[in-house]
Amino acid sequence: MRKTFAPLHALLFTALLAAPLAHLSAQAAAAPDPLFQTIQSWDAKLFDAYNHCDLEKFGSLLADDLEFYHDKSGLSSGRQALVEGVKNNICGKVTRELVPGTLEVYPIANYGAVEIGVHRFHHPGHENTESVGEAKFIQLWQNKDGVWKITRVISFDHQALTK
């Protein structure tokens, strides 16, 4: 009978030894990445300004020589062109939300970071007549002397979500 329980004892002993290591591994995996948190925060500031038509704040987060590539409308060059586009086409008509769980952030050495994700566009007050849109995006953030600004945007794969 003693031989029957030996493998079970070995398994339990191994599990008890491994448990503290698994806890340490889980703590390390849960540690927030500072770059991810930084870019997530800047993304939230950018689109809070976008959603509330705070064009001064929105523009302050864009580089002067911004390039914005959109799969439907092509290239828009310069901060002012994008700010004007938001003023004329977005303010009071569209809001943006980041799709939870889609945000990715990667460092770019000696420059800043690249942000990748999926976002949805809503039409407040027109939910019954306008469909929710969704698109993928890539944003290149430059960190110059501690100031983060977007220098390049690619917004693509725009499509209407089915209800």
pLDDT at residue 30, as a whole number: 57
State yes or no: pLDDT of 11 exceeds 80.
no
Where does the pLDDT of residue 21 fall: very low under 50, low under 70, confident under 90, or very high at 90 and above?
A: very low
Residue 81: HSE in the Cβ half-sphere, 13 Å Cα cutoff:
13
Residue with the two structure tokens 């983060």:
148
* pLDDT tens digits, 113-162: 999 999 999 988 777 777 899 999 999 999 999 999 999 999 999 999 87
Q: Is residue 25 scored above 70 in pLDDT?
A: no
| DSSP 3-state of 149 | strand
Q: What is the pLDDT of residues 37-75, one digit of tens each?
A: 999 999 999 999 999 999 999 999 999 999 999 999 999
**Rounded Cα–Cα distance for residues 133 and 41 (Å):** 23
Q: What is the pLDDT of residue 14?
A: 44
The mean pLDDT of 65-86, rounded to a whole number, is: 96
**CA dist 66 → 80, 104, 151 (Å):** 9, 21, 5
H or E element that contains 11:
helix 2-30
Kindly give the pairing relationship between strand 95-98 and strand 104-108: unpaired
Tell me, what's the pLDDT at 56? 98
Percentage of the residues of the chain whose pLDDT score is greater than 70: 80
Q: State the pLDDT at residue 157.
A: 97
**pLDDT for residue 10 is more than 90:** no
The answer to whether residue 3 scores a pLDDT higher than 80 is no
pTM score above 0.85: no
